[in-house]
Structure 1
Amino acid sequence: MNIIQSGITAENSSIAIIIARFNEFINKNLLLGALDTLKRIGQVHEENILKIYVPGTYEIPTIASYIAKSGKYDAIIAIGTIIKGQTDHFKYIANDTSSSLSRISAQYFLPITLGILTTKNIEQSIERSGTKMGNKGSDAALAALEMINVMKKLKKVIYY
């Protein structure tokens, strides 16, 4: 029986981070958490990290697809915040964004991790961007690091 498990250091990896500017005061903290994790824990070099800013979370999949198609990156981290308002707009943005990112990841065999908050209010977003509920940007970076290593090991077992 073969078992593939992996660690979280990926010092020679190239990682793209796509950050939504909408709700920037929250996304900034998610980005800081992701960067700290990539550099401090993952040992990823600053020059191997590409940061791309887009208007909002809904625009992230378009850029993710472009990056994935390039084949130049080992993982993508998506960072954004979607806060429920008075309408169903929240639901459509959250569903479409996560579904699109999942499709892109599967299509290109590229890890795309979600540092995208979907919360009921600003307070929940603040709690999940570095206060009492942790930092979901950091969590997304950890997932990206592990997936990079899992994919590298998997490529040694499965040949395309």
Structure 2
Amino acid sequence: MATQLKSLSDFSHTTIPDGRKYRFGIVTAQWNAEITGALYNGAVLLLEKQGVLPENIIEITVPGSFELTSGADILLSKKDLDAVICLGCVIKGETPHFDFICNAVANGISQVSIKYNKPVVFGVLTTNTLEQAQARAGGKHGNKGEEAAATALLMADLQKNLND
């Protein structure tokens, strides 16, 4: 596999917009905290590197990835935000639980985005093993939290430019 050989968090092909004029929400699942904490740190570092002020990053935690949808909905109903980043980690086990959670979270995040007409970004790792999650949370394959933050900036900028 090509992904075994490289970092997936390569932004050399795109320009990430300046974030000074934007406000973001980050919803982070507490389950698999070692992984989701690393995703959160990656997201915040990228946002701040792009000029987003710390006071314009609203963070909440939810128990697990399934609750990311509710967390995003709560944030968008209470705060004026340009985008919400959902960060979680679901690791495949021996039962179909993995499939149900992953499908529910992906569909739920899409529905919240449509409901509010705001970007809601899927920054959820869906891996077979803990090692795969670690590799994508700041390891050899980059940091999916950074990728989610870059996506949020790009989508917020797209929406603003189309509305101007």
Is 1:16 equivalent to 2:25 in the alignment?
A: yes
Inter-partner Cα distance in structure 1 for 2:130 and 2:76:
31
Shift of the alpha carbon at 1:21? Answer: 0.5
Alignment map for 1:1-150 (pairs within 5 Å): 7-40=16-49, 42-70=50-78, 72-150=80-158
Alpha-carbon distance, 1:69 to partner: 2.7
Over 4 Å off, 4+ runs = none
Report the alpha carbon displacement of residue 66 of structure 1 after superposing the two structures with TM: 1.8
Whole-angstrom distance in 1 between the partners of 2:68 and 2:16: 27
Match of 2:6?
A: none
- Equivalent residues of 2:87, 2:122 under 8 A apart: yes
Aligned position for 1:3:
none
**Deviates most, 127-136 or 68-77:** 68-77
**How many percent identity over aligned positions?**
36
Cα pair 1:7 1:149 within 8 Å, conserved: no
Deviation at 1:71, TM superposition (A): 5.3
Q: Distance in 1 between matches of 2:113 and 2:90?
A: 21
Matched pairs, number:
151
CA-to-partner distance for each residue in 1:59-99, whole Å, 9 max, x for gaps? 11012112223351111000100000000000000100110
CA RMSD of aligned residues (A): 1.4
| Distance in 2 (alpha carbons) for counterparts of 1:8 and 1:80 | 24
Question: Hey, what's the Cα distance between the residues in 2 that align with 1:116 and 1:7?
Answer: 21
Q: Is the 8 A contact 2:16 2:150 kept in 1?
A: no
Deviation digits for residues 92-112 of structure 1, max 9, x if unmatched?
A: 001001101101101211001
CA deviations over 1:34-70 (Å, ceiling 9, x no partner): 0110001x21000111110111000110121122233
> The residue matched to 1:79 in structure 2 has which SS?
strand
